[in-house]
Amino acid sequence: GPELPARAVAGRIVRHRLATVWELLGEVADDRSLRSEDVHQLRVATRRSLVALELFADLVDSREVKWFERQLRRIRRTAGEARDLDVLIERLAHDRAAATPSARADARPEAAKESRERKRLESLLRMLGRRREDARRPIRALHRKLADDDWPSRIDRLVEPLSSGGKRRFGRHARRRLAPLIRRFFRTADRRHRDAEDLHELRIEGKKLRYALEICGVVFDV
C-alpha cells in the first residue's frame, strides 16, 4: 500500500521479479519438450524485472543493479532467436493445417496444388524443428554461467540493505518515479510513426509503462 516504506516494497518486488526470471530460465534450460510459452514468459519476466529495477534504482546498490540489468538484457537477447523460431513454427503449422486438399471431385488441380504446398511446409517445419533445439543451447549455457555466478545470492545482496526500512513512503516514491515513464510514453506516442521500427518503439514503451503500473497502480484512487 501507499503508506508502506518504499524500501520494504522495493525489496519484496525486486526479489520476486528476479527470482521469477531465475525460475523460468531454469525451466527453459531443462525443458526438453520445447514449450514455446516458457521462452515467451522468460522474455516477459526480464522486461518486468528491468522496469522494477528502474523504479527502485535510487534505493539499491547501483553496482548490483547494473550487473542485473546487463544479465537481464543478455537473457532476453539469448532467448530472442528461440522465441522467433517458436513464432515462425506456430504460424507455419497453422498454414499447414489450412493446406488440406479439397474433397470436391471438381477440385483435383487445386487439391494437388494444396498437397504440394503442404509437403513443402512439412519439410520446412522439420528443418526449423532441428533449428529450434539448437537455438535453446545458448540459453542452457547462459543458465550454467549465471548459476556459477550465483544469481540467487546476488539477489540477496541486492535486496538485503532494503530491510532497514526508511522514512520515504511508497506512495510518494511511486508517483515520483512513475512520472518520467508516463512522459516518455506520451512523447513516443505523440511522434509521427513513419515505419515499423517507430511502432515497435511505441509498443515497447507501452509495455514498460504497463509493467510499472502493475507495481505503482496501487497508489492511485480508482
> Does residue 32 register a pLDDT over 70?
no
Query: Which residues are paired to 5 by β-bridges?
Result: 169
Burial (0-12, 13-18, 19+ Cβ within 10 Å), 114 = middle
| Range 11-32 average pLDDT | 91
Question: 122 with 96: CB under 8 angstroms?
Answer: yes
What percent of the chain is predicted at pLDDT more than 90?
Answer: 46
Is 30's pLDDT higher than 80? Answer: yes
Q: What is the pLDDT of residue 108?
A: 61
pTM value surpassing 0.85? no
Assess contact for 65 and 158: CB atoms under 8 A.
yes
79, 28 contact by CB (below 8 A): yes
What is the per-residue pLDDT across 119-154, written as a single tens digit (0 to 9) for each?
Answer: 777 777 777 677 777 888 899 999 999 999 999 999
* Sign of torsion over alpha carbons 159, 147, 26, 203: positive
Phi, psi of 169 (to 5 degrees): -85, 150
Is residue 93 scored above 80 in pLDDT? no
| pLDDT on residue 111 | 62
Mean pLDDT for 68-97 is: 83
Model confidence pLDDT, tens digit, residues 175-186: 999 999 999 999
Residue 2 burial (CB count, 10 A): 17
Torsions phi, psi of 167, nearest 5? -85, -25
pLDDT in tens, 157-211: 999 888 776 788 999 999 999 999 999 999 999 988 888 888 989 999 999 999 9
Q: How far apart are CA 40 and CA 84, in angstroms?
A: 10
Which tens digits make up the pLDDT trace of 59-72?
988 889 999 999 99
By the 8 A CB rule, do 20 and 152 touch? no
Given a cut of 50, is residue 105 above it in pLDDT? no
